[in-house]
């Protein structure tokens, strides 16, 4: 298993490199000069050239990439053009906040999703199944920024139970695990949990239905197991796939929550990306996307290793 | 007192308005230590009959008639008793052990699980029992094999493990649903011999479903031939083989004679196809395919006619063996 893990890490390295190239190029392919936004409108051609040289934009792309990668490998993502602060500091704080939000959302989504999925899979075509299916369809199809606003209207504006935006009472961009900060987490987490809930419940329903239709389930009953005993086998069989889906959902939420984070002014990566795009803050954009992409690669690796550890049918060689 | 006694068993699937009658009035009896072979084409209701004895059908299935097994009324058993009965009084070997074992559990653990469940032992004792059983069914290097997952075993070894699982809690009745069909020819014979040996040693009552008359003759004391959910001929092995009475049985034997050296040849040599169980004709279900059909055959289901002491057939042309000999 250890050998397998090392092997997977080895395989992932070129993927990570490829990702870094794409992230680097992505920003350069985007139209518009990244420096225009910070240069005075009446800057002369000389001043522009000077500025370009200062940021290294005058060198060939390959060289620029080499320099950039070298710095990245030394934990230097450059400084934000807009604020001048080190990108790494901003990104890591945002990633921390997003990770909290995404993990809690995935956990909520996973808990309810597996529950609905199991109920629907066990009682196929019953009213319970219909209700669970309806909930999951709503979950994946309701626009979640809209749901976020509805929740804010009900629970913040009308009832005044929960704060509408931000990550904490002091307005600082740092979420901390204490009761006061927890209140800020509730609405965005519920909003974001709806999509993984829908997806996980549908996956688990199909998975459970498929497992229950297999002959070994009948054989388990034939050897005298109670329904509870059979259920344990169903769970063990469903676990690898269900956990893999959960891991991937976590990855999506980590980077794909621009809208929800913006609605709730949650100081995470989505919020940061939004700001970086609108301010054409190239180093910040690059740094954020790179870190998110690396997280995704890492999560995939984790899911892969976990699934292999849980499912004996997957060859470990 | 037979250990298994089935009377007028019926099993319906599908909606009540248009039921599929997979088993249409089966009577069976089996004494301790006896082996009955259940023979018939695909779809004739053999597996459904077996599963009825363990009440393994989906809830939507409707079962009628009565079944007594080891002095228990199978259909009347409450759920808890049923779970205790399954595996400890009656157990089942499935056709394809690759599908019938849980793919993500170690085989040894699957056996131990059954032992723990029925005998209340510790898991460790269950594993020890599994090891004994593996030795008994002659799985090579049994200790190591206990830790295998099903996919790590060959087909023949898996079927041996399945047999070990079925015997784990000393059942009195063994239901074997085509236990060798999914195996290679040479492995088939080994597994068959093993089953016969265990049956004799343990004094098991066995119902053995098969397509293969050769196999039936090899293992069984009696043969019952099924067609469209009914047993249409039944009798001691030798009698049925030597003097088949129902045209369907005759057809089976004839097809067997043509391919007598092809092991596992499917029984498809009779012209025509098995009837649709949802729209059975009122008379004999075999009438549309029968070469010697009479008008009367289409009117009502023929009752069992006794041919010799324990040998009967559901065919209006059947005559007692003595009478037949007289006319020849
Ligand atoms: N769970 C079920 N739901 C609906 N119909 C079923 C079910 N199980 C069996 N049947 C039907 O009952 C009939 C008899 O099936 P059965 O499996 O007993 O045949 P068999 O004699 O064992 O055939 P084979 O040799 O192919 O195993 C078939 O027409 C089958 O479609
Ligand atoms: Mg069958």
**Which is more confidently placed, A299 or B175?**
B175
| pLDDT given at position B261 | 46
Ligand 1 atom showing the smallest separation from residue B51 Cα: 18
Are residues B197 and B141 part of one domain? no
Q: Which of B132, B166, B200 is the last residue of a domain?
A: B166
B305-308/B230-236 β-pairing: unpaired
Are residues B176 and B85 part of one domain? yes
| pLDDT given at position B293 | 80
Q: Which of B144, B166, B188 is the last residue of a domain?
A: B166
Confidence category of residue A160, pLDDT binned at 50, 70, 90: confident
Q: How far apart are the first and last CA of chain B?
A: 38
Query: CA of B152: which chain A residue's CA is closest?
Result: A313
Least confident of A190-194, A219-223, B269-273: B269-273
**Which is more confidently placed, A279 or B44?**
B44
Q: What is the DSSP letter of B71?
A: T
- Residues A160, A166, A170: CA angle, nearest 5 degrees: 95
Are residues B200 and B242 part of one domain? yes
Ligand 1 within 6 A of CB of B15:
no
- Residues A97, A99, A100: CA angle, nearest 5 degrees: 70
**Residue B248 is assigned to a structural domain of this protein:** yes
Nearest beta carbon to residue A215 from set B85, B100, B165? B100
Are residues B209 and B113 part of one domain? no
Q: What is the largest CA-CA distance in chain A?
A: 86
| pLDDT given at position B223 | 94
Are residues B70 and B120 part of one domain? no
**Residue B63 is assigned to a structural domain of this protein:** yes
**Residue B187 is assigned to a structural domain of this protein:** yes
| pLDDT given at position B328 | 42
Ligand 1 within 6 A of CB of B47:
yes
The total domain count for chain B is 2
What is the average per-residue pLDDT within A2-7?
A: 84
Task: Determine contact, residues A294/A2, Cβ cutoff 8 Å.
Answer: no
Q: Rg of chain A's alpha carbons, rounded to an integer?
A: 24
Please write the tens of the pLDDT for every residue from A224-258. Answer: 999 999 999 999 999 988 988 888 888 888 875 78
**Residue B148 is assigned to a structural domain of this protein:** yes
Task: Give every CB contact of residue A47 below 8 A, 6+ residues apart in sequence.
Answer: A39
**Nearest-CA neighbor of A140 among A122, A116, A119?**
A116
Lookup: tokens for A223: 């050897």
What is the average per-residue pLDDT within A172-186?
A: 74
**CA-CA distance, A225 to A204, in Å (whole number)?**
23
Task: Give every CB contact of residue A257 below 8 A, 6+ residues apart in sequence.
Answer: A98, A101, A102, A192, A266, A268, A269, A270
- Ligand sitting nearest the alpha carbon of B26: 1
Q: Of the ranges A21-35, A91-105, B219-233, which is most confident? A: B219-233
With an 8 Å Cβ cutoff, is B262 touching chain A? no
Which domains are seen in chain A, by residue range? 93-280 (1.10.3720.10)
Q: Of the ranges A305-314, B195-204, B300-309, which is most confident? A: B195-204
- Residues A295, A104, A211: CA angle, nearest 5 degrees: 85
**CA-CA distance, A19 to B50, in Å (whole number)?**
58
Find the chain A residues whose C-beta atoms sit closer than 8 A to any C-beta of B: 214-216, 218-226, 229, 233, 236-237, 240, 311-313
Are residues B242 and B109 part of one domain? no
Tell me whether residues B86 and A219 touch, CB distance under 8 A: no
Task: Determine contact, residues A306/A247, Cβ cutoff 8 Å.
Answer: yes
Residue B115's domain spans which residues?
A: 101-166
Confidence category of residue B61, pLDDT binned at 50, 70, 90: very high
Are residues B127 and B19 part of one domain? no
Minimal C-alpha gap between A208 and chain B (Å): 14
B305-308/B311-313 β-pairing: antiparallel
What is the average per-residue pLDDT within A264-293?
A: 84
Are residues B207 and B150 part of one domain? no
Nearest beta carbon to residue A223 from set B104, B151, B165? B165
pLDDT above 50 (res A54): yes
Ligand 1 within 6 A of CB of B52:
no
Torsion, Cα A22 A25 A31 A36, to 10 degrees, reads 130
**Residue B33 is assigned to a structural domain of this protein:** yes
Q: Of the ranges A64-73, A157-166, B173-182, which is most confident? A: B173-182
Instruction: Please indicate, yes or no, whether the overall pTM of this predicted structure exceeds 0.80.
Output: yes
Please write the tens of the pLDDT for every residue from B191-244. Answer: 999 999 999 999 999 999 998 888 888 899 999 999 999 999 999 998 998 888
Q: Which residue has the tokens 């790179």?
A: A290
Please write the tens of the pLDDT for every residue from B145-155. Answer: 999 999 999 98
Confidence category of residue B251, pLDDT binned at 50, 70, 90: confident
pLDDT above 80 (res B281): no
Could you tell me the CATH number of the domain that includes residue B28?
Answer: 3.40.50.300
Minimal C-alpha gap between B247 and chain A (Å): 35
Helical H runs in chain A? 2-29, 45-54, 61-73, 87-122, 127-141, 144-151, 179-212, 215-222, 227-255, 258-263, 269-278, 282-310
pLDDT above 80 (res B81): yes
Are residues B265 and B176 part of one domain? yes
Within 8 A of B104 by CB-CB distance, chain A residues are 236-237, 240, 311-313
Are residues B185 and B57 part of one domain? yes
pLDDT above 60 (res B260): no
Least confident of A161-165, A267-271, B251-255: A161-165
**CA-CA distance, A122 to B286, in Å (whole number)?**
40
Are residues B61 and B143 part of one domain? no
**Residue B107 is assigned to a structural domain of this protein:** yes
Residue A288 CB-density burial (10 A; 0-12 exposed, 13-18 middle, 19+ buried): buried
| pLDDT given at position B66 | 93
Tell me whether residues A225 and B113 touch, CB distance under 8 A: yes
| pLDDT given at position B4 | 94
Please write the tens of the pLDDT for every residue from A127-157. Answer: 988 988 888 888 888 888 888 888 888 887 7
Lookup: tokens for A289: 């996307």
Confidence category of residue A188, pLDDT binned at 50, 70, 90: confident
- Extended beta strands in B116-238, E state: 173-177, 205-210, 222-227, 230-236
Q: Which of B166, B199, B217 is the last residue of a domain?
A: B166
**Residue B135 is assigned to a structural domain of this protein:** yes
Please write the tens of the pLDDT for every residue from B123-144. Answer: 999 999 999 999 999 999 999 9
**CA-CA distance, A98 to B69, in Å (whole number)?**
63
**Residue B302 is assigned to a structural domain of this protein:** no
Confidence category of residue A65, pLDDT binned at 50, 70, 90: confident
Within 8 A of A216 by CB-CB distance, chain B residues are 99-103
Q: Whose CA is nearest to atom 3 of ligand 1?
A: B13
| pLDDT given at position B276 | 82
Nearest beta carbon to residue A219 from set B84, B94, B168? B94
Are residues B35 and B175 part of one domain? yes
Tell me whether residues A312 and B102 touch, CB distance under 8 A: no
pLDDT above 60 (res A57): yes
């Amino acid at each position: 298993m250890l050998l397998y893990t090392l092997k997977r890490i080895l395989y992932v390295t070129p993927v990570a490199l490829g990702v870094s190239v794409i992230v680097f190029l992505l920003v350069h392919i985007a139209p518009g000069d990244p420096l225009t936004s910070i240069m005075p409108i009446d800057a002369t051609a000389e001043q522009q050239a000077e500025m370009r040289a200062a940021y290294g934009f005058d060198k060939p792309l390959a060289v620029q990439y080499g320099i950039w990668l070298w710095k990245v490998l030394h934990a230097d993502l450059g400084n934000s053009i807009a604020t001048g602060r080190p990108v790494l500091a901003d990104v890591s704080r945002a990633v921390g906040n997003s990770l909290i939000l995404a993990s809690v959302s995935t956990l909520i989504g996973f808990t309810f999703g597996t529950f609905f999925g199991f109920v629907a899979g066990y009682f196929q075509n019953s009213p319970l199944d219909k209700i669970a299916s309806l909930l999951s369809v709503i979950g994946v199809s309701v626009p979640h920024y809209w749901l976020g606003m509805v929740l804010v209207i009900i629970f913040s504006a009308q009832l005044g139970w929960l704060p509408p935006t931000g990550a904490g009472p002091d307005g600082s961009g740092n979420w901390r695990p204490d009761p006061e900060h927890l209140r800020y987490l509730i609405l965005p987490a519920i909003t974001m949990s709806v999509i993984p809930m829908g997806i996980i419940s549908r996956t688990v329903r199909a998975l459970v239905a498929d497992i229950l239709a297999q002959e070994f389930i009948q054989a388990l009953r034939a050897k005298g197991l109670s329904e509870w005993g059979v259920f344990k086998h169903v769970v063990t069989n469903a676990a690898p796939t269900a956990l893999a889906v959960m891991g991937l959902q976590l990855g999506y939420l980590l980077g794909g929550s621009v809208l929800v984070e913006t609605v709730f002014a949650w100081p995470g990566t989505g919020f940061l990306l939004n700001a970086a795009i609108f301010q054409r803050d190239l180093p910040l954009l690059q740094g954020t996307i790179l870190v998110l992409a690396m997280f995704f690669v890492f999560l995939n690796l984790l899911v892969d290793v976990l699934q292999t550890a849980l499912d004996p049918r997957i060859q470990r060689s | 007192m037979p250990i298994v006694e089935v009377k007028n068993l019926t099993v319906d699937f599908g909606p009540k308005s248009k039921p599929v009658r997979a088993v249409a009035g089966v009577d069976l009896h089996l004494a301790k230590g006896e082996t009955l072979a259940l023979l018939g084409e695909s779809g004739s209701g053999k597996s459904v009959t077996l599963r009825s004895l363990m009440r393994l059908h989906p809830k939507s299935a409707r079962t009628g008639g009565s079944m007594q097994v080891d002095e228990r009324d199978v259909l009347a058993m409450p759920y808890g008793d049923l779970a205790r009965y399954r595996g400890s009084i009656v157990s089942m070997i499935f056709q394809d052990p690759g599908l019938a074992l849980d793919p993500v559990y170690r085989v040894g653990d699957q056996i131990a699980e059954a032992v723990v469940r029925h005998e209340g032992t510790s898991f460790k004792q269950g594993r020890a029992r599994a090891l004994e059983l593996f030795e008994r069914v002659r799985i090579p290097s049994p200790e190591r094999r206990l830790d295998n997952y099903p996919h790590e075993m060959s087909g023949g070894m898996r079927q041996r493990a399945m047999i070990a699982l079925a015997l784990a809690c000393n059942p009195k009745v063994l239901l074997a649903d085509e236990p060798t069909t999914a195996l290679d020819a040479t492995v088939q014979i080994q597994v068959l011999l093993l089953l016969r040996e265990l049956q004799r040693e343990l004094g098991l009552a066995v119902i053995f479903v098969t397509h293969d008359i050769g196999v039936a003759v090899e293992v069984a004391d009696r043969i019952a031939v099924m067609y469209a959910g009914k047993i249409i001929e039944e009798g001691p092995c030798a009698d049925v083989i030597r003097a088949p009475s129902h045209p369907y049985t005759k057809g089976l034997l004839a097809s067997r004679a043509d391919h007598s050296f092809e092991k596992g040849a499917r029984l498809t040599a009779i012209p025509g196809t098995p009837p649709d169980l949802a729209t059975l004709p009122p008379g004999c279900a075999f009438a549309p395919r029968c070469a010697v059909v009479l008008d009367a055959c289409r009117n009502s289901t023929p009752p069992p006619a006794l041919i010799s002491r324990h040998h009967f057939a559901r065919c209006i042309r059947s005559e007692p063996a003595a009478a037949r000999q007289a006319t020849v």
